[in-house]
Amino acid sequence: MKFEALFSTYCLKQLSLKNRFVMAPMTRSRSTQPGDVPNQLMANYYGQRASAGLIISEATQISLQGKGYARTPGIYTEEQVEAWKLVTREVHEKGGKIFLQLWHVGRVSSAKVTGLQPLGPSAIPAADTQVYIFDGAPNGDATFVPVDPPREMTMKDIEEVVNAFSQAAKNAVSAGFDGVEIHGANGYLLDQFLRSNSNKRTDGYGGSKEARIRLLLEVTKAVVKAIGSSRVGVRLSPFIKFKDMDDPEILETIMEAAVALDALGIAYLHLCEADWDDAPQVPMTFRKSLRSKFSNTIIATGNKQPKDAAELLATKTVDLIGFGRKFISNPDYPKRVAVNAALNEITDTHTLFGGGTAVGYTDYPALSN
């Protein structure tokens, strides 16, 4: 078999994975309204893709305040928790493993989405950044709107966010998830605290690198206390600058965070790597440095071909490889790689976000047995 490393088993703490394929988190905006409630269509979607060694769910808000985009699911009401059981049951019945990605978008939101003013580490809006709503466009497409200026978070706000992450983790385990991933990447709340250009605080949460990683560590500690370190992963995006997140100190800050996260014994770090054609490449020097500072599992995600993935695994700087878009149109992506089968292409980008039917979501065909 080609790319044997991708098909080798892996032990993620106490969780046994059947291969090294990770289905990366991808926002699809299919939750039932009102209430941002998961549903059977979502369960079908994830169940179809249970041949991945690990599924990381779409980003899921820990509170209404943490929501940034229309129709994304939540994990903070009893109805949401109960509905997520449809998903976890389906994945587990198909032999899969699934973590829930916990999300607070911070300043990347609009009152048109939540009815609330966004929060951020500082009262600095994200330039040239939009979120989407569904306002009845004839073709059902999302409509993009600018983010609103955020309010600087108070100490009470920070405490509420830490508690919300902790409760969301408990809710996720109650819903049957194998663990959770804390979203600290891509310009959302925890990433905003990490970066010197979005975090201008002068209290204990801003200024130095040590202070800027404080909220990430407090959230992670609270989640570890709630559900155990073996069930917790953290996602970071050191080389991604969109959503007005260009910080010259971020690489050093990420390394400092990695040391502290390693001391907490979490299951993994998940590197979100840029996936567009002319995106910056992650240097091997960075990967080796991160490996020297973080002793547990490292996941790398970002437009990788199987050959790239196998070569990266061979360096031992990462342990699992995330694939995103390929899983959208190829529910059986690992099998297609194994037998060198042709891949389905995404047929209609209008169905990537939103839609209440199977079209462009669960209707991509698998290979016949």
Question: How far apart are the C-alpha atoms of 271 and 275, rounded to whole Å?
Answer: 12
Tell me the backbone φ, ψ of residue 23, rounded to 5 degrees: -80, 115
The single-letter DSSP state of residue 343 is P
Which of 69, 188, 205, 361 is flagged as catalytic? 188
DSSP string, 214-283: HHHHHHHHHHHHHH-GGGEEEEE-TT--TTT---TTHHHHHHHHHHHHHHTT-SEEEEE---STTPPPPP
Residues in the chain: 369
Contact status, residue 122 vs residue 206, Cβ threshold 8 Å: yes
The dihedral over CA atoms of 323, 260, 221, 61, expressed in degrees to the nearest 10, equals -30
Tell me: cis bond preceding 365? Omega within 30 of 0 counts: no
User: In angstroms, what CA-CA distances link 322 with 162, 272, 346, 347?
Assistant: 27, 9, 18, 22
188 is catalytic: yes
Two tokens at 93?
């019945």
Please identify which residue in the block is written with the tokens 């490449």: 281
Tokens of 221: 């500690």
- For the record, the structure tokens of 194 come out as 């990490």
Using CA atoms, how far residue 365 sits from 21, 22, 46, 357, in Å, is 19, 20, 14, 15
Taking alpha carbons only, the member of 221, 215, 186 closest to residue 199 is: 215
Q: How far apart are CA 176 and CA 286, in angstroms?
A: 35
State in Å, rounded, how far the first CA of the chain is from the last one: 18
Classify each residue of 194-229 as buried b or exposed e, where b means 16 or more C-beta atoms within 10 Å of its C-beta.
Answer: bbbbbbebeeebbeebebbbbbbbbbbbbbbebbbb
Going by C-alpha positions, the residue among 102, 81, 15 that lies closest to residue 54 is 15
The residues annotated with a catalytic role in the active site are 188
